[in-house]
Every structure is written in structure tokens, then in C-alpha cells.
Amino acid sequence: MITLEGINRIFQVGDQQVHALDDINLTIQPGEYLSLMGPSGSGKSTLLNILGLLDKPTSGRYLLEGREITSLSDDEQATVRGEKIGFVFQFFHLVPRMSAFENVELPLVLAGMAPSVRRERVNVILEQLGLMDRAHHRPDQLSGGQRQRIAIARATIMKPSLLLADEPTGNLDSRSGTDVVEVLEKLNAGGITLVVVTHDGQVGKRAGRRLRMVDGAIVKDERG
Amino acid sequence: MRPGDTARFAAQSLIRARGRTLLMLLAMSIGVSAVVILTGLGEGARRFVTGEFASLGTNLVIVMPGRSETTGGAAALMAGETPRDLTVDDYLALTRNPLVSLAAPVMVGAAGAARGRLEREISVVGTTSEFLKIRHLSMDRGKFLPSGDPSRAVNVCVIGEKIKQELFGKEQALGEWLRLGDRRFRVIGVLATGGRSIGVDIQELVVIPVASAQALFNSPGLFRILVEARSREVMPRLQDQIRSTIAERHQGEEDVTVVTQDAVLATFDNILQALTFTVGGIGAISLAVAGILIMNIMLVAVSQRTREIGLLKAVGATRAQVTTLFLSEAVLLALLGGLLGLFFGYLGTTAIHGVYPDMDSQAPLWAVLAAVGVSSLTGLVFGIMPARQAAALEPVEALNG
């Protein structure tokens, strides 16, 4: 379970203060499927970054599975990021010099897992995503949809409980976009908590719970 | 993270980012090899000069006519004093000193040398058999001047290799006659090449007995007397005794200059020191250039690397892990660059040695160490510093470059 209490995020832009998140209170149940929508600059990506520990709130409390996260040290946060959270980016953020296989393997390498175990796990997940024949291609030899699926494989290889996707279809044509959303939903059906930030109403509509943000605040919270 | 994985990650990022790695290696090896080659050249020149003096023998005392420290006859002339000639008798008197192991008189002059229709101007040295040993010369063929009474003029001569080539070509020179001025000399030996001595190329020398030289140049005056002391310790004493012996023979007038090899070396000390500073300066400049090259390449790569670090952090890398990864990469690069630079430097100095065999152009150890040290240090610092900064950022900031 995820609980956000009174989360604020203030950016200093020049001599101006931008209130990107304004007193956010939110509870997410395990296995929920959320979409976050709203105009540009409404703070939805900032909220996602804070959920994924990629950014720190200026104030407020963040509890992940009952554990206070905001007060953890950098290294402890890194461990939480590695073990509990998967992140999918709009621009994929694959390491260009590494093959698809190596990109997926990366979190396991950082966790110090033995090579034989790693190979097994990466092969299983590539198989599931239908990417076995692409395993030794570099990212620039893959289509956008394939790249995003590799990124999803990397985000889920550590079997996290929370999967965050920031505009996962934003750089894809509609067919590969649907493809990617289906992959994410399949993972959600397997029990992972899924939060998707999107501009695309079609994509946002599919979520079981739909949040709408304006000016750093959640203005709508629909279910069903 | 496993050590093997760390090494693999570092090696992989070097191999697959080929352009950047090659540029870095180029910069580092240019820096290191430039220092090795340039300081090697400078040091070679320095050693060449020192070697020239050392080859004259360290126990050597040189007696010159005229009383002055380093400028010889010129100062005596300015003082309005005509120095008494040094004579063969003075030389014989010095050989009777028990502190002397060897002594040789030296007369120097130029004469026209002719054989058949071939003729050229030649430097002629008149001396005795001891000259060979004192100047550390060796014979290629035949014999050096015979020992015996130095006041007897024997018409024999020993010639340098180049003279032999020019006047005799491929023909046999030993036993042939050579005309010097208006006299004829029988060639009894050819000097070996390789020996060298300041100012005179022994390959272009003709050596004749001192009495013959006196007759040839029609003058009794010696140019120098070379004296080798029995040991280094007795040299100061020997110098005093030489002065008093000569003064006794010259009506109490001390009209010779007695210098040691050390004194001559000391005169050149300033030059050698300047040379050493030049070498150091050249080394420092090449190092600075190499350092800036390395720095630039590393800084250009920063924003790309920053994004990569953001990603690493997003998938769970700790700050220490990120630093370790980049440190390993920088160490690997520095090691490769240093080795490559040493290799090229070695190639360069070997090539120089091939072209100028006389120059022992080996870079001094301090220059090699400083070169490798500075280039790896700049590589390390500018490899790690941006990585450390990026690792300290929030992942989202790093991801956005």
C-alpha cells in the first residue's frame, strides 16, 4: 500500500517559485491500476517521479508498504528503487551501447546476482514479451515498440511491486502503443501496482482508477 | 555488484564507446610519448656533452702555455705578456714526477697533405706514443707512434679513417708515403673510428712524432701537455708540483695554466644546467597540453554520461556503485593510455637512437614517472569528478542530462 500525506514539491526557477505539487494526499492499494492525466505542467510527472523515488518532495510523507521512505538515506532509497519499483520512461532510456539482453540484465547485475541465475531470468522475461530473437540487438536496431518492451522487461526483472510508466506510449505509433499498454495491463493482472501518466485519453480511460491533475493538485479521482 | 561484472562493465563501455576511447588514448599517449621523447632528446644531448668530457679522462691535468684561467693565450696577449713556450724539455721534466702515470706533449697545426695528385688541408697533431692511451683512442690497422726519445724526428704518421678514405680510397695505406708540407711521412697506422674528442674529429687527423711536428711547423712551442695523474686524490698536489716544476725551469716565472678536467667541466656546468631546465620545461609543456586534451574529451562526454548515471540510479545503483563503475573505467583507460604512451615514446627514442647512434636518448626516470602520473591523474580526476557530481544529483535531474 502506498500513502502520500501532504506532499509538496516546489521548484526554484530563476527567482520564481513554482509549486509543482500542492499538498497531495493519496492512497494506492496493492494491485491497483491508476492513470494520471492532466495538462502539461500540471505536476503529474513530478508526482510519478516522487512515487518512483527519482525526486524528493519538498515536504510531506511518503509511505511504501508501511515504511516511511522520505527519511531514508540515498543508498537505502537506491535499494528500494532497485527492489520494489520499476520505472518506464517516455524516451525508453536504454543504454545505447548495451544489447537488449544486457539492458534487461542491468538491475540484476547491480544487485550482484550470479550470471547463471541472471541469464535464466532474462531469458524467461524476453520469452514472455516475444523478444527472444531481438536479445542481442542494440537499441538502435530495434523499433520503438520493441524498445519500450525491452524497457518494461528491465523495469520488471527485479519483480517489483510497483510499476510506474511516464507517457509510455508518447513516442510510439498507435499500434505499438496499444501493444505496450497491453503488456503493462497483463503485468497489472499478475498483481503489480500500475501507475500510468498519459496525455492520451484512450490510454487513460482503460485504468480502473483515473486521477486528473491541474496546477499541482488532484482535482478528480474516478473509479470503475 | 560482482567485481567481474564491474570490470566487464568498464571494459565494455570503453570498447563500445570506441570514438571517445580512441581519442582519450590518443591524447594520453601523445602526452606521455611527447614527454618521453622530448626529455629523452634533451637528456641525450646533456649526456653527450658530459660524455665528451668524461672521455678525456677524469684524472687528466692539462698544462697550457700562458697564465690565464680559461681563455688561454688571448688573455695573456691582452695583458701584454708574451708567454714563454712550453717545450719538449718541460714535458720530459714533468714525466719524471712520480705522481704522473702518463704524459703526452701536444702540438697542433694545419698542413697541406698530398698523395699523388690528391691534396687537402689537414689538422696535424704532433705528440708521443702516450697520446693514444691518454685520449682513449684505438687503432684500426697498423701501429701508433713508436715510443722512444721524443726529440728524435721520425718521419712516420698515423692517419684518421676519413683521411685514409680520401687520400688512399680502397688502396692499402700502411707503408705508403704521405706528403705533409715539404716532408714525407710513412703511414704506419690508421686510427679506429668511434672515438671522439671535443673540437677535433679524429677521423680527419694526422698524428706525427712531436719532433717532426716541431720541424714541420718550425716552432719549438707545444700547444698543450696532457698529464694523467696516478689517482684522483693526488691531483691537487700534482697541479702544484707541475706549476713549481715549470716555474723552476722558466726562471721562477709561473707562466703556465694548469687546469683539471673537473675545472673544465665546472665551466660547462651552467650550460648543462640550462639544458636540464630546458628538458624540464619541454616536459612540463607537453604534459600540460596532454592534460588539457584529456580534460576536454572527458568533459565533452559528461552530459551523455550523466544521463547514463541517472538511468543506473533509477534501476537501483547506489552512489558508491556508480563511482566504482566510473573509477574502474577511468583506471583502465589511464593504464592503457600510459602504457601506449610509453610504447610510442620507446619507439621514438629508439628511432632517434637509430638515426643518431651517438645520442643515448633515454628519457630520465623522473620524466617518465611524471608523464604517466600526470596523464593518468588527469584522466582519473576528470573521469570521476563529473561522475561523482552526477551521482549526487537526484535521478530525475541526471536523467534529463
Query: DSSP string covering A153-196, please?
Result: HHHHTT--SEEEEESTTTTS-HHHHHHHHHHHHHHHHTT-EEEE
Which pTM does this prediction carry?
A: 0.68
Q: Tell me what the pLDDT averaged over chain B comes to.
A: 83
Summarize the confidence of residues A129-158 as an average pLDDT: 93
**pLDDT above 50 for B80:** no
Place B1 in a pLDDT band, splitting at 50, 70 and 90.
confident
Q: Which residues of B touch A110 (CB under 8 A)?
A: 1, 312, 315-317, 321
- Percentage helix, strand, coil, to 5, in chain A? 40, 30, 35
Q: What is the DSSP letter of B317?
A: -
Q: Assess whether pLDDT exceeds 60 at residue A134.
A: yes
What does DSSP assign to residue B170? T
CA–CA distances in Å: residue B386 to residues A94, B381, B395: 21, 9, 15
> Taking a contact as any Cβ pair under 8 Å apart, which residues of chain A between 26 and 85 contact chain B?
49, 52-56, 74-75, 78-79, 81-83
Write down the mean pLDDT value for chain A.
92
What does the alpha-carbon distance between residue B325 and residue B1 come to, in Å, rounded to a whole number?
A: 10
The answer on pLDDT for B81 being more than 70 is no
pLDDT of residue B269: 67
- What's the pLDDT score for residue B202? 78
pLDDT-wise least confident of A160-164, B9-13, B71-75, B381-385: B71-75
| CB-based contact B313 A87, cutoff 8 Å | no
Q: Which residue of A has its CA nearest to B308?
A: A95
Given this model, what pLDDT does residue B72 score? Answer: 47
Burial B334-359 (b: 16+ CB within 10 A, else e): bebbbebbbebbbebbeebbeeeeeb
Are A136 and A104 in contact, with CB atoms under 8 Å apart?
A: no
Does the pLDDT at position A41 exceed 70? Answer: yes
Q: What is the pLDDT of residue A214?
A: 94
Digit-coded pLDDT (tens) for B86-116: 888 899 999 999 999 999 999 999 999 988 8
User: Cα dist. A213→A26, A222, B127 in Å?
Assistant: 12, 12, 109
Least Cα distance to B286 among B28, B9, B2, B24 occurs for B28
- Nearest-CA distance A111 → chain B (Å): 6
The least confident of A180-184, B213-217, B298-302, B330-334 is: B298-302
pLDDT score of A209 = 94
Contacts of A83 in chain B (CB under 8 A): 316
- Contact A89/B at CB under 8 A: yes
Cα first-last separation, chain A: 19
Give the pLDDT score at B79: 47
**Is B358 a residue whose pLDDT tops 80?**
no
Q: Which chain A residues contact residue B311 at CB under 8 A?
A: 93, 95
Contact check, Cβ <8 Å, B316/A55: no
- pLDDT surpasses 80 at B83: no
Picking from A98, A112, A158, the nearest residue to B2 by CB comes out as A112
Cell of A139: 537499441
Once rounded to an integer, what is the mean pLDDT over residues A161-183?
Answer: 92
3-class SS letters over A105-119: HHHHHHCCCCHHHHH
CA angle A170, A173, A179 (to 5 degrees): 90
Contact status of A95 with chain B (Cβ, < 8 Å): yes
The band of A20, judged by pLDDT with boundaries at 50, 70 and 90, is very high
Distance from CA of A224 to the nearest CA of B (A): 32
Average pLDDT over residues B45-67: 76
Chain B positions in Cβ-Cβ contact with residue A165 (cut-off 8 Å)? none
Give the range among B182-196, B263-277, B376-390 with minimum mean pLDDT.
B263-277
pLDDT for residue B150:
87
Q: How far is CA B303 from CA B18, B296, B309, B320, B393, in A?
A: 17, 13, 10, 20, 13
DSSP run (H or E) holding B190: strand B183-191
Contact B2 A110 (CB under 8 A): no
ipTM for this prediction = 0.91
Least Cα distance to A88 among A155, A174, A139 occurs for A155
What cell numbers appear for A69 in the block?
521512505
Q: Residues 371..400 of B with a Cβ closer than 8 Å to A: which?
A: 394-397, 399
What percent of chain B is modeled with pLDDT above 90?
15
The pLDDT tens digits for B254-269 are 888 888 877 766 767 6
For residue B388, how many other CB atoms are within 10 A of its CB?
Answer: 15
Contact A110 B312 (CB under 8 A): yes
Q: Which residues contact B69 (CB under 8 A, 6 or more apart)?
A: B75, B257, B259
CB contact under 8 A, B13 and A97: yes
- The predicted pLDDT at position A127 comes to 92
Q: Is the pLDDT of residue A198 over 90?
A: yes
Which pLDDT belongs to residue B75?
A: 47
pLDDT of B77 > 50? The answer is no
Residues of chain A with Cβ-Cβ distance to B305 below 8 Å are: none
| Mean pLDDT of all residues in A50-57 | 93
Question: What is the mean pLDDT of the segment spanning B208-213?
Answer: 93
| B394 → closest Cβ in A54, A98, A154 | A54
User: How does pLDDT run across B228-263, given as a tens digit for each residue?
Assistant: 888 878 888 998 999 899 888 888 888 888 888 777
| Probe site for chain B from A110, A141, A154 (most B CB atoms < 10 A) | A110
pLDDT of residue B194: 62
Chain B residues in contact with A140 by the CB 8 A cut-off are none
Contacts of A114 in chain B (CB under 8 A): 2
